[in-house]
Amino acid sequence: MKIFGCFDRVYLCANCVDFRKGLLSLSAFVQASLGLNPFENALFIFINKRKNSIKILYWDKTGFALWMKVLEKDRFPWLRHGETSTTNISASELEWLLNGIDIWKIKKHEPLNYSRVI
């Protein structure tokens, strides 16, 4: 798999997905249900109903690739049902999510916008 930082975007599908779906079904789901282009340089992240498995779909210029991680004992922190259909996260946040860190409870510094120094 490519390094997460090589992708322009990382999309989380907020709602649970039937994990019997494979490459073509998930790519069709990205296009039809999420309204996104499955061929863009992006990762599409899906979770199962029990929240113990994640699938990551991406296009690698020659075909679709699918990566999967299953937790033996724990669950992944995830968005609440119905908040939004997809959410963008950073590559760092994806790595934290895969390591079990609840990225929605982390408080980041607020960006400051100034027009003058003095």
Reading the chain (118 residues) residue by residue, the pLDDT tens digits are: 557 678 889 999 888 899 999 999 999 999 998 999 999 999 999 999 998 999 999 998 899 999 999 989 988 887 765 555 777 888 888 888 888 787 777 777 788 889 998 8
Report residue 40 as tokens: 């863009």
Q: Is residue 112 part of a domain?
A: no
- CA 79/CA 98 separation, integer angstroms: 14
Q: Is residue 19 part of a domain?
A: yes
Q: How many CB atoms lie within 10 A of CB 46?
A: 23
Domain count, the chain: 1
- CA 90/CA 98 separation, integer angstroms: 12
The whole domain housing 72 covers: 4-98
Q: Is residue 10 part of a domain?
A: yes
User: DSSP alpha helices (H): ranges in the chain?
Assistant: 23-32, 91-98
- Quick one: which of 51, 52, 54, 58 has its CA closest to 68? 54
Residue whose token pair is 């996260």: 89
User: Rounded to two decimals, what is the model's pTM?
Assistant: 0.79
